[in-house]
Amino acid sequence: MRKRCCLIFILACAVTSGLFAQAKKPAGCISKDPYIGAIVIDAGTGKPLFEDKADIPGYPASTLKLMTLLIIQEKISAGSMKLTDMVGVSKKAAATGGSQVYLDPRETFSVEDMLYALMIQSANDVAVALTEHVAGSTEAFVALMNAKAHQLGMVNTRFASVHGLPPGPGQTHDVSTARDLAILCRELCTHPAVFAYTSTDYRQLRADTKPFDMRTHNPFLKAKTRIAGCDGFKTGYTATAGYSIAVTCKRNDRRIIVVVLGSDTLKTRDAKAKELLEQAFSVSP
């Protein structure tokens, strides 16, 4: 009888635990276990080395800031922008929530400082300030993002914001796929200057006034979980999008890009991305 009671108790706990785990997934969340989609490509050739549901759409969250980085870097390379250009802060930018550096409308920062904040801190307030500076409004910059996506052949991507936050009333989700994000990452690799921002794990903003410590969200750049050769790119997360990462490593003149889109958990995302990277490097070109 005692054994039977113990067995019933164990089963009840297991069922309760399962229901609790399910309940923890927020309403509207589209993430999957282990992911919505994933892809590995050779950056040099563009050849896919692995893909699994790579064309299934998901919400890119903050990984879409890589498109902001690309557009701005292209303008810098073309000479129409400079890293020393000063960027003002609108009330709209300062009021943007989520990950931020707490911009104040009385402040100005160089483009260079803002690019570091965009990539290291994944600062949404910086994303708004930068894109307003470039295009006059976030809406105009979103049009630039979609035009660039079309030009690159990102056929299943549609941007609706400059930060990747969940949409407000009357707005729509940003949508992309693992394959499309890999295309974006490969294009970024043609601009080596971007690795200054995507490979930095720590930097201070306002170092001379009120220092703000910015630390990367990319686990493969952090001291305890660093992966050899990693120098970018970007993570993304919202409660409805799940956990995503676009990561690149270079070893022995060979660069690999991995995208994992929409994992249920941070642990799963990071484990899959690491596994795919190491497997890619273990195979001869």
**In the annotation, is 3 catalytic?**
no
> E strands along 56-206, which residues?
86-88, 108-110, 202-205
Burial class (CB in 10 A: 0-12, 13-18, 19+), 223: exposed
* 257 to 61, 179, 231, 266: CA distances (angstroms): 18, 11, 11, 19
Residue of 31, 99, 122, 176 marked active site: 122
Phi, psi for 110 (deg, rounded to 5): -70, 155
Q: Which residues contact 102 (CB under 8 A, 6 or more apart)?
A: 125, 212
Q: Which sign does the torsion angle of CA 240, 28, 68, 46 carry?
A: positive
**In the annotation, is 62 catalytic?**
yes
Q: Would you state the torsion angle of the CA atoms of residues 210, 88, 146, 200, taken in this order, to the nearest 10 degrees?
A: -30
**In the annotation, is 65 catalytic?**
yes
Decide if 192 contacts 248 (C-beta within 8 A): no
* Alpha carbon distance 153, 150 (integer Å): 5
Residue of 62, 99, 176, 263 marked active site: 62
Q: Whose structure tokens read 């052949």?
A: 153
In angstroms and rounded to an integer, the radius of gyration of the C-alpha atoms of the chain is: 20
Amino acid at 13: C
Q: Whose structure tokens read 């499309």?
A: 180
Name which of 252, 242, 248 is nearest 273 in CA terms.
Answer: 248
Q: Count CA atoms within 13 Å of residue 13 on its CB side.
A: 6
Residue of 24, 32, 53, 65 marked active site: 65
Supply the residues annotated as catalytic: 62, 65, 122
